[in-house]
Amino acid sequence: MRLLPALLLLLPLAAAAAGPTAEAILKAYDAVMGPPVFEAENELTSVREDGSSRTYVMRFLKRDADKFRVWFREPASVKGQEILRLGDNMWVYLPNLKRATRVANRESFQGGDFNNADVLRVNYAGDYEGTLVPSDVPDTFCAKLKATHPETAYDAITLYVRRKDLQPVAARYYASSGKLLRSAEFSEVKTFAKGYDRPAKVVMRNELVPARSSTLVLRSLSLDVEAPPQRFMQTDLGR
């Protein structure tokens, strides 16, 4: 019986050695890739099957877990376009028509290889349930994620994060059939604000059409910003 207290003391150490829980990895991903409030400038370059490419420059504004707005600045052909996410609903505003049209989470973001939800919906802790599994990538933890509702970008994800700080390293995205649809690489971790580090570059590869890929580069990001509620209303689009 005298061994029992010593064994109990060893349990927390054993749990720590086993790594974080899948839930902790999901929360860490959300904190890194989608802080509660931020403003950012992003550059998206999409490469098509014929080798041609197109680059977009966008301003992002986020508030809470379910409010997101994007303003397109370049190229000239899309300047003035906007995207608004409010809860489970998304709209794209076209300035030449002066109206907004509904879009779906799983639709392509500007014709590239990211889905709308990849860019505008970072809420893994709310959208997926995870299981920690052995990793086949060195120095990483691996979690297999399963969607908990139909509004997610994918039905299943295999997510890899660095052991030392839980920064995302790679991900594989699957259909409900188990077919691999996309794969992503996260790189160039930078400090954008005091105490806030995250990958500045995400490359999304289309596993169905290998010649296609899209690269999202975070040019700048600020956490100390104002994001008034009216900026996330349909009536504010185009203003």
Condensed to tens digits (0 to 9), the pLDDT of residues 97-144 reads 999 999 998 899 999 999 999 999 999 999 999 999 999 999 999 999
CATH number (3.90.1150.10, 2.50.20.10, 3.30.160.270, 3.30.470.20) of 20-236 reads: 2.50.20.10
Tokens of 69: 């707005």
Q: What pLDDT is recorded for position 52?
A: 95
Confidence at residue 239, expressed as pLDDT on a 0 to 100 scale: 86
Q: Give strand pairing partners of 129.
A: 146
Residue that the structure tokens 């991900």 belong to? 171
> 75 and 53 in contact (C-beta within 8 Å)?
no
Instruction: Tell me if residue 86 falls in helix, strand or coil.
Output: strand
Give the β-pairing of 53-63 and 37-47: antiparallel
Q: Using 70 as the pLDDT threshold, list the residues of the chain that sit under it.
A: 1-18
215: tokens are: 């690269």
Give the span between the Cα atoms of 73 and 204, in whole angstroms.
22
Helix residue ranges, H only, 18-162: 22-33, 116-120, 124-127
Domain ranges of the chain: 20-236
